[in-house]
Amino acid sequence: MMHSLSSPYTTGTTSRALLLYSGNSSSSSSSSTQQPSRLNIKTNSFFCDLGTNFCLFNEKGRRDLLYGRRKMTTDNHLRHVESLPVFPSGAGNIPRLNAVILGEALASEENDYVFPSDDFSRNAHVSSPSQYLEMYKRSVEDPAGFWSEIASEFYWEKKWGDKVCSENLDVGKGAVNIEWFKGGITNICYNCLDRNVEIGNGDKVALYWEGNDLGSDDSLTYSQLLEKVCQLANYLKDVGVKKGDAVIIYLPMLMELPIAMLACARIGAIHSVVFAGFSSESLAQRIVDCKPKVVLTCNAVKRGAKVIGLKDIVDAGLAESTKNGVSVDVCLTYENQTALKRENTKWTQGRDIWWQDVVPKYPSTCDVEWVDAEDPLFLLYTSGSTGKPKGVLHTTGGYMVYTATTFKYAFDYKPSDIYWCTADCGWITGHSYVTYGPLLNGASCIVFEGAPTYPDASRCWDIVDKYKVSIFYTAPTLVRSLMREGTQHVTRYSRKSLRVLGSVGEPINPSAWRWFFNVVGDSRCPISDTWWQTETGGFMITPLPGAWAQKPGSATYPFFGVQPVIVDEKGNELEGECSGYLCVKHSWPSAFRTLFGDHERYETTYFKPFPGYYFTGDGCSRDKDGYYWLTGRVDDVINVSGHRIGTAEVESALVSHPQCAEAAVVGVEHEVKGQGIYAFVTLVEGVPYSEDLRKSLVMAVRTQIGAFATPDKIHWAPGLPKTRSGKIMRRILRKIASRQLDELGDISTLAEPAVVDQLIALADK
């Protein structure tokens, strides 16, 4: 099938152009290897012979555009094109749409398509929709063969058996069970470090460390990192840590944090990293649950201009856990001299040990503890609806293979790249895409201790230029925060090294996506807008930056081996354009295997809602072009008079207003509508609150979504309650909106606890 579209362009003189496409337009079950027909087309003075590419010819017959991407001098950067990508769960052909060429155009409309440049695609690991389709089709039709080939690229002391994958996701057929590469014997630390040294990467920088204060930095090569990991591993063994024992790591973003993770993995211990912003009560909860042999921490950390006494928090947490019957005999403490000297650190003799006094004395080589692919690698606690944190358990082999593969393809990683993920290792992003995924690929990564806006809002771009960062991965919250500070903080830095941008943590609203793309990436860097979870271990739905066009705010298409489905309330799969509950059928290698000590809760939470599927807990829409749009947690869906409205959708509409810097929406009880929409709105710096502005914001929502989505309340917010990692605490916002002020709970983990009092004071104004 061939589609053509005649479209006018203004180039300085009036001319006409014809855009033509010839490609595979059959259904999603068609093989991507079919050869499309070659077409001869003559329209007025236009004549072309097409294979699988777009061709644009002017009146003189000169080719101006190949695959809709080659640079063309024009005042109107919006190209009207047609395309026929055929994807696994797509809803058919794509009609006329707005395409934006990277490096040339500004994205400005909700349905813009943003194409990678021709050069980017040509050099990408996955360079076209057809290549993706071929790989994706094999990954779901022959998962054992597909993943075995990739797994064979890593070192295995013993190869797995004939059965690559075993699974049962249907609670009606017995206990939920997932296994990948069982019987295979390996070690993820060996594959991250020893393997890289052996292939010649020993002198390559593995970790660049950028401290909180300007001018404070360090680095470790792969050989140096291996030595430090071995020294700590030997110490842990010497104090009695064995394979299968738990170790709590409560450290800030020092290089010692990934060192500690890798040291545990090397000896088969199970690490549980607790974000060094959690309160002593939260830390104690996790200690009691996993009963660690050792706690690793540091005395203090500087976050911006503020010093946080981590050792004091650990002391209180250990005292609390002891009251609850779990004592820890060893607290290894790193002296972070820039934040606090050891003489000013409270100390418990016999339990507390200075890291620098003992670890460097141990040998810099350490034998590897070879483990089964299904042996536990780490625990990571995530919040639950009951208040008790859930200990998500990930195993070794499948997680190793999947995180390495997703990192490589989603960021189009090349050995020359310098990679920076701004996440803390206290969260899953820091596990998969600060530590394991990058190091398994031999990457050079940045570990940043400080706050991204300290000493001012230009810090990120100062770091990008300093290290020549080419892949920058961050959260929408930070993007919106930097937007609020103004473009001048960005544009005074070069950023020419940037090649790929990434987004993680929540759906990114289109206006923030465009700012990130246009301002930070100079309209030339694809954005890998990744959807995944602590439970999934790695990316599930994500752009492959050289393979297809992107829509601002959409996670686009599933990664290899991932089979997402959208179901209704009865669990029926919905086809084509639809909205509903996002589930996944069939397992993938990095899926979590259980909740620590509570397999029943694991089944009840994730597999009983829709038997036979993994229920993500997220709402999702698939548009007519097959693109996936995450609408937020299902418990963040507001039911207004029978209309199910995603909070992310309302927030996106509010933030599209030029005077709105950030918004967070929650549902409140409404006597007529069931639930009403309550919006917390942070304005652009210097913009005053006013009734006219409130009406304008309401109109923005009515215009973009509909009258049914009109916010019932606009609550002016000088700031929003966030964790130190930037996550908005909507639980607190719900309590404020509902006036349940005596149920706010623990706010000690917030970056700025005083924000809560400000919001309460402004509640009725």
Question: Tell me: the pLDDT tens digits for 618-627?
Answer: 989 998 889 9
Q: Residue 662's pLDDT is what?
A: 92
Question: Among 391-395, 439-443, 507-511, 610-614, which stretch is predicted with the lowest mean pLDDT?
Answer: 507-511
Q: What is the mean pLDDT of residues 738-742?
A: 87
Residue-level pLDDT at 132: 94
Identify the weakest region by mean pLDDT among 35-49, 295-309, 429-443, 686-700.
35-49
pLDDT at 569 over 80: yes
386 pLDDT higher than 70: no
Q: Please give the DSSP secondary-structure letter assigned to residue 345.
A: S
Q: Tell me the average pLDDT across 734-758.
A: 84
Please indicate whether residue 123 or residue 762 has the higher confidence score (pLDDT): 123
Q: 295: closest CA among 347, 260, 340, 346?
A: 260
The mean pLDDT of 296-301, rounded to a whole number, is 97
Q: What does the pLDDT read at residue 279?
A: 82
Strand ranges of the sheet holding 352-354, from the earlier edge strand across to the other edge: 352-354, 330-334, 294-298, 246-250, 270-273, 376-382, 390-395, 594-595
- pLDDT recorded at residue 105: 37
Counting residues of the chain whose pLDDT is more than 70, the rounded percentage is 83
Q: What is the pLDDT of residues 320-376, one digit of tens each?
A: 999 999 999 999 999 999 999 999 999 999 999 999 999 999 999 999 999 999 999
In 230-341, at which residue ranges do the beta strands (DSSP E only) sit?
Answer: 246-250, 270-273, 294-298, 301-303, 306-308, 330-334
User: pLDDT tens across 748-762, in order?
Assistant: 767 788 899 899 988
Task: Quote the pLDDT of residue 670.
Answer: 80
Model confidence band, residue 706 (pLDDT cutoffs 50, 70, 90):
confident
276-285, 566-575, 651-660: segment of lowest average pLDDT: 276-285
- Band of pLDDT at residue 84, cut at 50, 70 and 90: very low
Q: Range with the lowest mean pLDDT among 301-315, 339-353, 511-525, 724-738? A: 724-738
Contact status, residue 597 vs residue 612, Cβ threshold 8 Å: no
Whose structure tokens read 């409404």? 670
Catalytic residues: 635
Q: Which residue has the higher pLDDT, 685 or 256?
A: 256
The residue type at 102: L
Window from 150-159, 255-264, 500-509 with minimum mean pLDDT: 500-509
Looking at residues 64-91, what average pLDDT do you find? 30
pLDDT, tens digit (0-9, with 9 covering 90-100), for 258-271: 999 999 999 999 99
Amino acid identity at 670: H
**How high is the pLDDT of residue 765?**
65
- Contact call for residues 647 and 634 (beta carbons, < 8 A): no
pLDDT of residue 624: 87
pLDDT at res. 4:
26
39 and 49 Cβ atoms separated by less than 8 Å: yes
pLDDT confidence of residue 673: 75
More confident residue, 632 or 97: 632
- Quote the CA–CA distance of 603 and 587 in Å, as a whole number: 14
Task: Quote the pLDDT of residue 108.
Answer: 41
Backbone angles phi, psi at 153, to 5 degrees: -75, -15
* The two three-digit tokens of residue 432, written as one number: 């998969």
Q: What pLDDT is recorded for position 440?
A: 98
Asked if pLDDT for residue 528 goes beyond 50, the answer is: yes
pLDDT on residue 19: 28
Instruction: Calculate mean pLDDT across residues 221-227.
Output: 98
How many C-beta atoms surround the C-beta of residue 244 within 10 A?
A: 12
Chain segment 390-406, per-residue pLDDT in tens: 899 999 999 999 999 99
**pLDDT bracket for residue 43 (50, 70, 90):** very low
Phi, psi dihedral angles at 535 (to 5 degrees):
-70, -30
pLDDT, tens digit, 9 for 90 and up, residues 6-41: 222 222 322 222 222 223 322 333 333 333 222 222
What pLDDT sits at residue 641? 66
Residue 127's nearest CA partner among 115, 113, 139 is: 115
pLDDT band at 113 (very low <50, low <70, confident <90, very high): confident
Mean pLDDT score, 701-715: 85
Q: What is residue 1's predicted lDDT score, i.e. its pLDDT? A: 29
Predicted pLDDT of residue 643: 65
Give the Å distances, CA to CA, from 96 to 3, 70, 79: 10, 19, 10
> Can you give the pLDDT at residue 74?
23
Q: What is the mean pLDDT of the chain?
A: 84
Is there a contact between 628 and 675 (Cβ–Cβ < 8 Å)?
Answer: no
Segment 737-743 shows an average pLDDT of 86
Residue 65, pLDDT score: 31
629 token code pair: 């749009």
Residue 49 — very low, low, confident or very high, per pLDDT cuts 50/70/90? very low
